Amino acid sequence: MREFLAAVHEHLAMGTDLCLATIIESKGSAPRSRGSQFFVFESGFHGTIGGGRFEADVIAEARQCMAEAQARMMHHRLMGQDVADMEMICGGNLDVYLEPLRAADQEAQAIYRTAASAAARGRRSLLATLVAPGSMPAVAGRKLLLSQDGGSVGSLEPGGGLVEALGRELARMSGASGPHIWPGDGAQILPAQVLVEPIINRPVVYIFGGGHVSQKLAPLVSMAGFGLVVADDRPEWANRQRFPQADEIWNQPLEAVLEGRELGPDAYVVIVTRGHLFDKEVLGQALKQNAAYVGMIGSRRKRDMIYRALSEQGVAPEVLDGVHSPIGLDIGAETPEEIAISIIAELVAIRAGKAAGQ
């Protein structure tokens, strides 16, 4: 999202009018999921929401919205040639919200300038858009940016307790949060949907253990767009030669590796140490963090043994229920390479807001 917000801001700052196209609903074998975006301007477009005839139709409709200063909901059923163009087996249904943004609209400029800055600096924020087709000469009353420090740019109508409720939504967001339709807590009855887009820090995967599975997992973590930290008390196992993709390498005793550290809600904890005792020690520390994901390698028998030991130390059953163990999606993985694939698949699923097996 960082790159996309920067591109929107740059085009508006250069005086380019554009039209955002956002998938609001996706059903069936559709090419992209809810929240996927691109934008269209007079001489081109930036990004993609699937390609083929479908995207060409959206581009044409978006330019019409720009010319008429109209926000519009586009309902598209993918079938026939659309399906063939995208090499899909079957069709799907998509609702795409089109909203024109004028470069002369100072509020639009301010919202996207601030959003791009927040994303670049890693400041947790929330961008809320009223999904309301109709005349849209400007974004006033239709778009609001909230930051975790309480600041805001823009506005949503109706007001009332909506801003406060969205502030609570921002406080609840984690590294597993993706674009979604709001309201979430029933605090406000709205005449239209609100699209909520989290602006969060880059999710970071913390791999505890520098063994063979970790070495196969690290490049996949990097390719999937996560940050990466590798921790092991043995420098010969966790070093720059073995993990060139890592942003940080921690060589310290695993029994106290998280002491004094706050990983934050954008953290994904992967526990693949060299033994049951170390796994237990790291898991006990990880469960005190507010992480988006905690996963531990091992058989169900090993997991249950570790859970019993932690329960005796006072860890609540519902806390242990949130651990992904055995780690990774169940694909019958056996080799380090296969296990690494199963783990990264689960991490991507959690990041995308999809249910993954626990």
**30 pLDDT exceeds 60?**
no
- Residue 333 — very low, low, confident or very high, per pLDDT cuts 50/70/90? very high
Mean pLDDT of 20-48: 82
Strand order in the sheet with 248-250: 248-250, 227-231, 204-208, 267-271, 293-296
User: For 138, phi and psi rounded to 5 degrees?
Assistant: -155, 170
- Decide: pTM greater than 0.75: no
What are the sequence ranges of the domains in the chain?
18-101, 106-199, 204-351
Within 10 Å of residue 217's Cβ, how many Cβ atoms? 30
**88 pLDDT exceeds 50?**
no
pLDDT tens-digit map of 211-252: 999 999 999 999 998 999 999 999 999 999 999 999 999 999
Dihedral over alpha carbons 149, 155, 157, 158 (to 10 degrees): 30
pLDDT of residue 355: 59
pLDDT tens-digit map of 103-135: 999 999 999 999 999 988 878 899 999 999 999
User: For 186, phi and psi rounded to 5 degrees?
Assistant: 70, 15
pLDDT of residue 183: 60
Tokens 């390609």 correspond to: 51
* CATH number of this structure's domain 204-351: 3.40.50.720
Instruction: Identify residue 15 by its one-letter amino acid code.
Output: G
Alpha-carbon span 26 to 74, nearest angstrom:
12
| Tokens representing residue 324 in the block | 């992904």
pLDDT of residue 186: 46
pLDDT of residue 1: 77
pLDDT tens-digit map of 182-213: 764 444 445 568 888 888 778 899 999 999 99
Mean pLDDT of 123-152: 91
**78 pLDDT exceeds 80?**
no
Tokens 């420090």 correspond to: 149
- Determine whether 287 is exposed, middle or buried from the number of CB atoms within 10 Å of its CB (0-12, 13-18, 19+): middle
Percent of the chain with pLDDT over 70: 88
Mean pLDDT of 286-307: 95
Question: Within 69-188, where are the H helices?
Answer: 81-85, 106-121, 162-172
Mean pLDDT across the chain: 88
Q: Are 143 and 130 in contact (CB under 8 A)?
A: yes
Question: Within 14-105, where are the H helices?
Answer: 52-68, 81-85
